[in-house]
Amino acid sequence: MGLIKEIGLAVKQELREYLVRELEAIIKTEADVKAFPKSVEKPVQKVEEVKPATEPKAEEKTQIKPVPAVEEKAMAAENSDKPEEPKEEPRREIARLNHEKIEKVLYNERPDYLLIPVDIFSELRQLPADEFALYVKFLALAQDQKKNYGYLGNNIRKRIGAEEMSQDKFREITDNLVAYGFMSTENITELQRTFTLYVPFNEEYMVRADAPQKSVKAEPEIKPQPKPQPAPKAETAKPEPAPKQQPAQPEKPMQKKGQKPDTDEAKPGRKPAKQAKPNTPKENRQKPEIPGKPVDGMENDDMYKSYKTFVSLEIDKAKMRVGRSNFDKIYMEAVKYIDKKYGFRVLSDQEKFQEYLTNYYISAFDIPTFEEWKKTKA
């Protein structure tokens, strides 16, 4: 009897525990359901409606059914995410507009105008606005840097004034230009790409980069080979303010090597570039070299290359020595000095500005001039 009684008590105990567990599970699921947003409540309520009909299996249902609710939510979220991915439009097929070969070219000198032959322009007109704009920007850059190829990265975006364009957009447009046949790109590494822009070849201004560079190399040779003129200390050692000059005049004598003096000089009334060109190199040869300026066509080319490297390193060393903020101040002084001495236009002429800036650094940081440096080497 005692045994039966104990068995009865044990069964009762078990039943009680079972019921308590069940109740706790129900309470828990209800609390979870309340915590969900309204949109998720509906499926859970449906589950509860079903409950009374199958009361004994309430535990199973309450434990299993909320899961689908959560899953549904997750599914809904996934579904809302998924469409975004396919929305990335499959790349539309682009018919090639330009079938000419894209080759690397170097400009002998900067043309005064942007060179776009009419037949090419008729193809260019068919490009979408973004692609057209970017092509023209690249073309202007090619003329500015005197070559139609280079690295395709953030720096180039800045240089062509497209830095506000997102990287993806920029990539897409360049890819489109490749598809249209106006540009070719090459992946150097995963992150680095180079480009070659299609530029209609013009013998007058260009040479092929792959061909033996006769005209480019020959040009310095034609020049009378003056002794490299180092920066005379007296002239440049102290960047003292030069006497005030008329702004438009000073830079004129500085123009040389057929450089385009300034874009604003390319006015409609001006003579075409073709006529103006033959005179410029001759005139330039007569002009005094700028002190400290690397002189082309020097006798001892290797020597001069070493000197350039030396100057570059010295400037870097000086930069570290004086510190960033001081270097910025020196730069500011250099800009002011160049403006006063050589005129305002020089500031916007990249090449000349770099020349004068280097010259200024040579003086400011007491870097030996080429002659001095050569003596120490000899």
Partner 1 sequence: MLSVKIVMKSINDIDIKVQLCKTSFEWEILAEKYSRLRDELETEFKDSEMPKEIFDALERVRGALVQKKGEMPPQDLLNFFK
Residues that bind partner 1 (CB under 8 A): 158-161, 163, 247-248, 262-265, 294, 308-309, 311-312, 315, 327-328, 331-336, 339, 344-345, 347-348, 351, 353-355, 357-358, 361
**Cα dihedral across residues 67, 73, 74, 75: positive or negative:** positive
Q: Which is nearer to partner 1, 294 or 368 (CB)?
A: 294
Q: Which is nearer to partner 1, 109 or 251 (CB)?
A: 251
Classify each residue of 286-312 as buried b or exposed e, where b means 16 or more C-beta atoms within 10 Å of its C-beta: eeebbbbbbbebbeeeebbeebeeebe
- Kindly state the smallest distance separating residue 40's Cβ from partner 1, in Å: 48
- Kindly state the smallest distance separating residue 228's Cβ from partner 1, in Å: 16
Q: Which is nearer to partner 1, 14 or 301 (CB)?
A: 301
- Kindly state the smallest distance separating residue 358's Cβ from partner 1, in Å: 6
Is residue 207 within a helix (H) or strand (E), and if so which, with residue range? strand 206-208
- Kindly state the smallest distance separating residue 313's Cβ from partner 1, in Å: 9
- Kindly state the smallest distance separating residue 348's Cβ from partner 1, in Å: 4
Q: In Å, how far are 104, 234, 235 from 230, measured between CA atoms?
A: 34, 11, 11
| Contact call for residues 218 and 281 (beta carbons, < 8 A) | no
Angle at 173 between CA 168 and CA 176, to 5 degrees: 125
Angle at 278 between CA 348 and CA 305, to 5 degrees: 60
| Contact call for residues 153 and 193 (beta carbons, < 8 A) | yes
Beta-bridge mates of residue 150: 195
- Kindly state the smallest distance separating residue 45's Cβ from partner 1, in Å: 58
